[in-house]
Structure 1
Amino acid sequence: MNFTYEARPTRVVFRPGASVTATAGEVERLGLRRVLVVSGARGADTARTVVDSLGPLCAGLHAEARMHVPAEVADRAVEAARAAGADGVVAVGGGSAIGLGKAMALRTGLPLIAVPSTYSGSEMTPVWGLTEQGAKRTGRDPSVLPRSVVYDPDLTLSMPVPLSVTSGVNAVAHAVEALYAPDTSPLVSLMAEEGVRAMTSALVQVAASPTDPEARSRALYGAWLCGSCLGATTMGLHHKLCHVLGGTFGLPHAETHTVVLPYALAYNAPAAPEAVRVLDRALDTDDAPHALWALARRLGAPRSLASLGLAEADLALAAERVAGQAYANPREVTHEGALTVLRAAHAGEDPRAALPE
């Protein structure tokens, strides 16, 4: 056995109602006195409840977060923080809001507190992303890792089922890639297996009963574990595909992850047998790529890139950009290999038939 594992110094508060009962305490614990709350426009009402709970600790609300964190959006948020004299940032919402908070932390050094309202898992990673001139850049920096994460299952009770499903599968993708990352470890494997099991079982319950607090709590718990896996390891083919599809072609983030995951896993499966065995256990199956594809179908999630608006003519350019990047992956990614995965995902075929070993 040979591995390295580095624990990430993030404090987690997990309980119903925590967004309004614990956020101010986390701000004070960090010695902050004037934080700027950031969110997306659709999450502004939720963010305002956090603003109200902060009282005089809040310097204002900046509700301009957008998917894939366009550079100009990050510029405006940094200017807003400086104009407000903010000494910290509280990001409330999904991956777009937390991504914006990370971009602000990266550029200003301000400490970040995350209050997630979806299952993206981004809050548990030191990974940042910015989109500029049609290309999404990502990187890792410890300064963007939230100092505190406040998990409040109540914030997710009103999340529509379609968004819950795609957001949850997005989190599952983090755990899947962590299992075959070059810097995986036994602890990551344990977290990934439990995270995938918790999230996939919870999504079935959420689809059947969207306001079930126990199902919502279990999904948020799964998101925490899956995000922690990504935070500890290196991203591979799946995430690179999704970054290109989102940054270059503007495809929606969580939906793209949901469509691509079974195909990226099927492509990598021959080179990652141990990862597949762990996923088979977590999913109670003997064919993890098919099980993930079937789960999306069962829950009514998008299953093809065509349904997300990607033109078949764009597949060659996407494959070229994916194959042209340097990143770790258990199986070599050639232009033809990337194109094969993209064609299968574009059609939405059963990954067993589209990508045989």
Structure 2
Amino acid sequence: MMPFIYNGLPSRVIFGQGTLSRLADEVRELGCHRALVLATLEQAGQAREVLAQLGELGAGLFAEARMHTPVEVTDAAMRHLEELEADCTVAIGGGSTIGLGKAIALRTGLPQVAIPTTYAGSEMTPILGETRDGLKTTQRTLEVLPEVVIYDVELTLGLPVGMSGTSGINAIAHAVEALYAKDRNPVVSLMAEEGIAALSRSLPRIAQEPANQTARSDALYGAWLCGACLGSVGMSLHHKLCHTLGGSFDLPHAETHTIVLPHAVAYNAGAAPEAMSRIARALGSDDAAGGLHDLARAVGAPLALADIGLQASDIDRATQIATSNPYWNPREIEADGIHRLLSDAHAGRRPTSREVTDA
């Protein structure tokens, strides 16, 4: 056994069905009395139900969260929070809403309760990505880690099939990169493989039976494990590319992760053979990159960056941004290779790990 360091994250996790009923008690346990509920406009109705459930503990609602956590949205939320004299936030939704809660926590130190309704995994990480003037920057600090995470399987039953698939593969991306992270360790690697396996068996079933509670429970369990992986070790090429594409070209977050992941895995395959074996095993495939592409196809997810708004003329600029600042990756970051990766992802070609390994 090689030496390793493992840092556990200090979040309280409540997992099950009907667990939202514990929200008011959890807010009280934090010593808070005026909770600001956060959501996107699309989930404002669900957020109003949460506010009603909080009763006298609910200070108000801010339902303007947006993808990639633009700083101007955070500024507006901060003004609303100060007007209401709120002493904590309750974020219900996916990565956009939970990201807003983190941005507020960074600026105020107020505690957070996160109630995820997708499989993105942001709730389990001390990571915040914010967008300013078309550029997305990321920082890692325990100041943005939610104190309490409430996983309620019932809240995911209405998640549309398309969003279920892409947010689930977004979660898988966290576990995939954890398996070849510079600071990987055996504990996180176990969680990563289990998380990939739970999602890869549940997402196709959800695509066929959206109300299947067993599949929904497996997917939420897998998302928790994958999010914990993202929160525990560093990420590399895949996440850098997706932050570039999202922050600078305003591409949808989960769909971008879903499309790019197989290609990033193929790029790194020759430099991380053990990780490739574990990914393939978790997928029930003989090839990691191809298996991820096939999973995306099986859940009806988009397969090409061209289909979600990236122009072929954008590839040069995306390559330049993604290679401009050095970061760790198991394979050296080469501009020509990144350009080919993005070109393949733009066209939706099926990559394979074996071809890269044998090249």
Measured against the shorter chain, the TM-score band is: over 0.9
Q: Which residue is 2:229 aligned to?
A: 229
Query: C-alpha separation between the residues in 2 aligned to 1:111 and 1:267?
Result: 39
Q: Which residue is 1:55 aligned to?
A: 55
Q: CA deviation at 1:353?
A: 8.9
Q: Which residue is 1:64 aligned to?
A: 64
Matched ranges for 1:201-220 at <5 A? 201-220=201-220
Q: CA deviation at 1:214?
A: 1.1
Q: Which residue is 2:17 aligned to?
A: 16
Query: C-alpha separation between the residues in 2 aligned to 1:57 and 1:299?
Result: 40
Q: Which residue is 2:145 aligned to?
A: 145
Q: Which residue is 2:75 aligned to?
A: 75
Q: CA deviation at 1:326?
A: 2.2
Q: Which residue is 1:122 aligned to?
A: 122
Q: Which residue is 2:281 aligned to?
A: 281
Matched ranges for 1:104-119 at <5 A? 104-119=104-119
| Count of residues in Structure 1 that have an aligned counterpart in Structure 2 | 356
More divergent stretch after superposition (121-130 vs 290-299): 290-299
1:110 counterpart SS class: coil
Amino acid in the other structure paired with 1:25? D
2:269 counterpart SS class: helix
Counterparts in 2 of 1:41 and 1:311: CA distance versus 1, 3 Å? same
Structure 2: runs of 5+ lacking an equivalent? none
Q: CA deviation at 1:44?
A: 1.1
1:158 counterpart SS class: coil
Amino acid in the other structure paired with 2:112? L
Query: C-alpha separation between the residues in 1 aligned to 2:278 and 2:354?
Result: 23
Q: Which residue is 2:159 aligned to?
A: 159
Q: CA deviation at 1:190?
A: 0.3
2:63 counterpart SS class: strand
Query: C-alpha separation between the residues in 1 aligned to 2:307 and 2:146?
Result: 34
Q: Which residue is 1:292 aligned to?
A: 292
Query: C-alpha separation between the residues in 2 aligned to 1:273 and 1:93?
Result: 36
Query: C-alpha separation between the residues in 2 aligned to 1:320 and 1:354?
Result: 27
Amino acid in the other structure paired with 1:196? I
Contact 1:236–1:327, Cα closer than 8 Å, also in 2: yes
Amino acid in the other structure paired with 1:72? E
Amino acid in the other structure paired with 1:3? F
Q: Which residue is 1:5 aligned to?
A: 6
Q: Which residue is 1:171 aligned to?
A: 171
Contact 1:344–1:355, Cα closer than 8 Å, also in 2: no
Q: Deviations over 1:169-193 (max 9, x none)?
A: 0000000011111111000100000
1:133 paired with 2:133, answer yes
Counterparts in 2 of 1:198 and 1:354: CA distance versus 1, 3 Å? closer
Amino acid in the other structure paired with 1:282? A
1:42 counterpart SS class: helix
Counterparts in 2 of 1:355 and 1:251: CA distance versus 1, 3 Å? farther
Contact 1:267–1:355, Cα closer than 8 Å, also in 2: no
CA RMSD of aligned residues (A): 1.1
2:352 counterpart SS class: helix
Query: C-alpha separation between the residues in 1 aligned to 2:48 and 2:16?
Result: 19
Q: Which residue is 2:31 aligned to?
A: 31
Amino acid in the other structure paired with 1:11? R
Amino acid in the other structure paired with 2:8? A
Q: CA deviation at 1:354?
A: 11
Amino acid in the other structure paired with 1:114? A
Contact 1:344–1:354, Cα closer than 8 Å, also in 2: no
Contact 1:263–1:355, Cα closer than 8 Å, also in 2: no
Amino acid in the other structure paired with 2:137? R
TM-score, with normalisation over the residues of structure 2?
A: 0.97
Amino acid in the other structure paired with 1:130? E
Q: Percent identity?
A: 54
TM-score, with normalisation over the residues of structure 1?
A: 0.98
1:356 counterpart SS class: helix
Q: CA deviation at 1:158?
A: 0.6
2:234 counterpart SS class: coil
Matched ranges for 1:252-271 at <5 A? 252-271=252-271
Q: Deviations over 1:240-291 (max 9, x none)?
A: 0000000000000000000000000000011011111111211122201001
1:92 counterpart SS class: strand
Amino acid in the other structure paired with 1:203? L
Counterparts in 2 of 1:355 and 1:39: CA distance versus 1, 3 Å? farther
Query: C-alpha separation between the residues in 2 aligned to 1:353 and 1:232?
Result: 26
Contact 2:287–2:354, Cα closer than 8 Å, also in 1: no
1:64 counterpart SS class: coil
Q: Deviations over 1:111-150 (max 9, x none)?
A: 1110000000000000001101110011011011000000
Amino acid in the other structure paired with 1:352? T
Q: CA deviation at 1:46?
A: 1.4
Query: C-alpha separation between the residues in 2 aligned to 1:97 and 1:352?
Result: 35
2:45 counterpart SS class: helix
Query: C-alpha separation between the residues in 2 aligned to 1:67 and 1:151?
Result: 21
